[in-house]
Amino acid sequence: MLSKTGEAIPRPRIQTLSDLIFGLALSIGALSLLNAAPKNLFDLAESLLGFGWAFVILALVWVRYTRITSVLPIETGMMVGANLFLLFLVSIEPYLYNLINSSLDRGITTSLYAADMGALFLVMTFFLGELTKEERKLIPRSLLTSYRLQAYGNLAAAALFLISILPVFWIWDIQGVPMRFVLWMGTFFVMVVRRGVERRAKVENPQMAVKLSDLP
């Protein structure tokens, strides 16, 4: 297949590069624990929870990305650029996350991390938007609603991360926890709500019952 601007990049090469970058990002996050020297059990639990957060977010993005790109044409044109931008965001995620615990201003480092994650979810929303265009007929009509709900969920997650960049959300806190972190955790609430809406859609539309079990 040729694009308007030249030769297409083979899908297997894009998928190999994507798996490599996602794998490295997850591995670097784990290696960062080796540099941490917890002084007590509280520090140990905090380090593990922090790593768990970063791991789960990246793992969920990887699962969704893999399922989307298994159907969506990604070899040519704008999709290649979007893929490279996504992989760049993934590759710097461990670095930005580790900066949060550095000697730099945490208000700045957490803002950078939030910007990275917000942009990442926006790219995923773009992929889902392309996937659900009815004229492209990439997925069965019975799955359009589910994938559109995923797009809305990703857009909501992106909004939470990007809104959290506002300085006021670093100043405000709940029981000592900055509102910025609370907004980040809200992304999991978005996932729960999305899955709940999907289950309700499955009940109202029995044709979706089999397919919804395969969704991330």
Q: 183: closest CA among 117, 89, 94?
A: 117
Tell me whether residue 3 is in a domain.
no
Cβ atoms 115, 109 nearer than 8 A? no
Q: Take residue 193 and report the two structure tokens written for it.
A: 């709500």
Residue 205 has a pLDDT of 61
Decide if 80 is inside a domain: yes
CB neighbour burial string for 129-144, b if at least 16 within 10 angstroms, e if fewer = ebbbeeeeebbeeebb
Residue 50 lies in a domain: yes
- Could you give the count of Cα atoms lying within 13 Å of 20 in the half-sphere of its Cβ? 8
Please give the tally of structural domains in the chain. 1
**Has residue 1 been placed in a domain?**
no
pLDDT at position 98: 85
**Domain of 182, in residue numbers:** 11-212
Give 137-141's long-range contacts (Cβ < 8 A, gap of 24+). Answer: 138/71, 138/72, 138/73, 139/71, 140/211
In a domain, 5, yes or no: no
Dihedral, CA of residue 91, residue 97, residue 103 and residue 107, to nearest 10: 120
Report the pLDDT value the prediction gives residue 212, as an integer from 0 to 100. 41
Residue 170 lies in a domain: yes
Q: What is the pLDDT of residue 207?
A: 55
Taking each helix axis from N to C end, the angle separating 77-99 and 11-35, rounded to the nearest 10 degrees, works out to 0
Which pair of tokens denotes residue 173? 């806190």
Question: Rounded to whole angstroms, how far apart are CA atoms 16 and 80?
Answer: 14
In a domain, 4, yes or no: no
* pLDDT digit string (tens) for the chain, length 216 residues: 434 444 567 777 888 889 899 998 888 877 776 666 667 787 778 778 878 888 888 998 999 999 888 888 877 778 889 999 999 999 999 899 888 877 789 999 999 999 999 999 999 999 999 988 877 788 888 788 888 999 999 999 999 999 999 999 999 999 889 999 999 999 989 988 888 887 776 655 655 544 444 444
d(CA 37, CA 11): 42
- What is d(CA 157, CA 125) in angstroms, rounded to the nearest whole number? 10
Q: What is the pLDDT of residue 199?
A: 79
**Per-residue model confidence (pLDDT) at position 216:** 42
- 21 in a structural domain: yes
